[in-house]
């Protein structure tokens, strides 16, 4: 149901990665004839990609962390805007390290593409399997919803986020510019010298931001597609009424188990990338920083920083969308999976063999957390986890405001 849109998104992501490096360093290749994605494991382009990942992991990330520690432990020599932007940049770089480590290994791109293509093939297989049966009409409306949400989200990642990062990179609050100025005060040599440094650091920072955004987009895409596939097909195969079933019993169990296998693969890749499983802590931290900056800047009145407010709004919007997919839709997929099993028990509970088979099944969900409790294994993702995100963000923001009052 969603495979055509998923192909468009992976095609877009691959070209975004290649554009960010002028097609000189990447780990995926799009075969336009077969309309298929090929993972690179050797060759000049992939070696360049590995070198670029090493630079981000072992040079840029430690440098930004050291710069952030220096700003936090010394007398304030920079503006609040430049300090906040430096801290945010260090956080983004640190969060990207596990993903870059995963993709710089030859097995990483291969595993990523294998999972994505397996999910595409599963959708095609389920469509062929169900072509003579009526699907739950709710799934058709859900497809339209996901099409709109996915297009809006990736439009923001492809165009809005690079624009914001570019504006920051070419401003005097740029972390690279302020770091170079702290090492050597070049501004005393005149405005022309300062402009040259600003342009050079801005260009390099913008290119680095484009690369990181493209890599994060790839990370979000594979897990997001897994959640979408699970949700759509669980809704599609759930009987519309509590009496009877649209599909034969064996076919229903087979479809449920097919989705189960794919969710296990998605959970494994999410754990390999690490950053996906830390989404809740990361999004709570990012949203708290964004909300705190918005409130403190608005409280200043005329002296507020419009840049920090815009960044805060963008961070909160990004975090809410990520948590919506990782928790809300994942939880809804678990809810529909439980409903599917309950309806099958009502329809086939009179048969002893079928009753035993149904008792052995658990709701499907994708484990996007580091650890899963026994309750989660039994009942899937609970919807209260989504409410916890908003509660923690507001509580942490209030604590910060009171601590700095």
Q: CB count, 10 Å around CB of 112?
A: 24
Mean pLDDT of 3-32: 92
pLDDT tens figures, 85-141: 999 899 889 989 999 999 999 999 999 999 999 999 999 999 999 888 888 888 888
217 has pLDDT over 90:
yes
- C-alpha neighbours within 13 Å on the C-beta side of residue 199: 6
Q: What is the pLDDT of residue 349?
A: 77
Decide if 313 contacts 293 (C-beta within 8 A).
no
End-to-end Cα, the chain, rounded Å: 52
Q: Which of 336, 330, 340 minimizes the C-alpha distance to 372?
A: 330
29 bridge partner residues: 38
Q: Give the whole-angstrom CA distance, residue 393 versus residue 113.
A: 34
Q: What is the pLDDT of residue 52?
A: 96
Helices (H), 74-137: 80-104, 107-129
* 392 secondary structure, DSSP code: H
Q: Residue 163 above 70 pLDDT? A: yes
Structure-token pair, residue 32: 């336009």
pLDDT digits (tens, 9 = 90+) for 166-213: 999 999 889 999 988 888 887 777 788 889 999 999 999 999 999 999
pLDDT value of position 104: 93
Residues 398, 379: Cα–Cα separation, whole Å: 33
Q: Is the per-residue pLDDT at 244 higher than 60?
A: no
Flag whether pLDDT at 18 surpasses 80: yes
Extents of the domains making up the chain: 3-403
- Non-local (6+) Cβ contacts of 193 within 8 A are 186, 187
Reference 231, options 345, 146, 130; nearest CA is 146
Residue 43 DSSP code:
S
What is residue 166's three-state secondary structure?
A: helix
For all residues of the chain together, what is the average pLDDT? 88
From residue 107, alpha-carbon distances to 42, 48, 245, 292 in Å are: 11, 16, 42, 40
Element (H, E) at 38: strand 36-39
**Which has the minimum average pLDDT: 205-214, 240-249, 256-265?**
240-249
Q: What percent of the chain has pLDDT over 70?
A: 95
pLDDT single digits (tens) 60-98: 999 999 999 988 888 767 888 888 899 989 988 998 999
Residue 300's Cβ-count burial label (10 Å; 0-12, 13-18, 19+) is: exposed
- How many CA atoms are closer than 13 Å to the CA of 301, on its beta-carbon side? 0
What's the sign of the alpha-carbon dihedral 326, 329, 335, 338? negative
Please say if the pLDDT value at position 346 is more than 90: no
**Which residues sit opposite 36 in a β-bridge?**
31
Query: In the predicted model, what is the mean pLDDT of residues 36-57?
Result: 93
Write the DSSP string, 140-162. HHHHHHHHHHHHHHHHIIIIIHH
H or E, element range at 287: helix 279-300
50, pLDDT greater than 90: yes
Asked if residue 32 has pLDDT above 90, the reply is no
Region 312-324: mean pLDDT is 90
> Which pLDDT score is estimated for 372?
66
% of the chain exceeding 90 in pLDDT: 47
What's the pLDDT score for residue 181?
A: 87
Query: Is pLDDT of 374 > 70?
Result: no
> pLDDT at position 348, please?
83
Match 């990330």 to its residue by tokens. 61
What is the Rg, in whole angstroms, of the alpha carbon atoms belonging to the chain? 24
Please give the pLDDT value at position 380.
63
Q: How far apart are CA 232 and CA 110, in angstroms?
A: 26
């Amino acid at each position: 149901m969603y495979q055509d849109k998923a192909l468009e998104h992976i095609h877009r992501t691959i070209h975004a990665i290649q554009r960010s490096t002028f097609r000189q360093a990447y780990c995926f290749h799009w075969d336009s004839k077969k309309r298929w994605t090929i993972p690179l494991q050797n060759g000049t382009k992939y070696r360049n990609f590995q070198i670029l990942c090493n630079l981000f992991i072992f040079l840029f990330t430690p440098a930004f962390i050291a710069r952030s520690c220096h700003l936090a432990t010394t007398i304030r020599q920079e503006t609040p805007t430049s300090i906040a932007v430096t801290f945010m940049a260090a956080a983004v770089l640190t969060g990207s390290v596990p993903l870059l480590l995963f993709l710089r290994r030859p097995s990483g791109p291969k595993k990523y593409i294998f999972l994505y293509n397996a999910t595409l093939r599963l959708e095609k297989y389920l469509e062929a399997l169900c072509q003579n049966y009526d699907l739950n009409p709710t799934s058709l409306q859900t497809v339209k919803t996901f099409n709109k949400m996915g297009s809006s989200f990736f439009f923001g990642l492809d165009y809005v986020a690079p624009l914001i990062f570019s504006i920051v990179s070419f401003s005097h609050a740029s972390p690279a510019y302020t770091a170079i100025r702290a090492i050597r005060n070049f501004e005393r040599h005149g405005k022309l010298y300062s402009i040259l440094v600003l342009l050079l650091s801005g260009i390099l920072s913008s290119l680095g931001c484009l690369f990181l955004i493209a890599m994060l987009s790839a990370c979000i895409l594979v897990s997001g597609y897994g959640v979408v596939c699970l949700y759509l097909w669980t809704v599609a195969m759930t009987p519309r009424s509590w009496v009877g079933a649209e599909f034969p019993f064996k076919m229903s169990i087979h479809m449920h188990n097919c989705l189960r296998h794919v969710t296990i693969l998605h959970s494994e890749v999410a754990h390999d990338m690490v950053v996906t499983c830390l989404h809740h802590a990361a999004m709570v931290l990012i949203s708290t920083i964004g909300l705190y900056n918005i409130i403190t800047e608005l409280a200043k009145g005329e002296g507020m920083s419009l840049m920090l407010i815009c960044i805060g709004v963008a961070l909160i919007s990004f975090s809410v969308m990520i948590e919506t997919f990782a928790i809300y839709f994942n939880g809804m997929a678990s809810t529909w999976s439980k409903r599917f099993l309950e309806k099958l028990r009502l329809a086939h509970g009179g048969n002893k063999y079928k009753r035993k088979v149904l008792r052995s099944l658990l709701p499907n969900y994708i484990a996007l957390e580091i650890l899963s409790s026994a309750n989660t294994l039994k009942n899937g993702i609970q919807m209260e986890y989504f409410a916890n995100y908003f509660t923690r963000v507001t509580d942490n923001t209030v604590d910060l405001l009171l601590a700095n009052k």
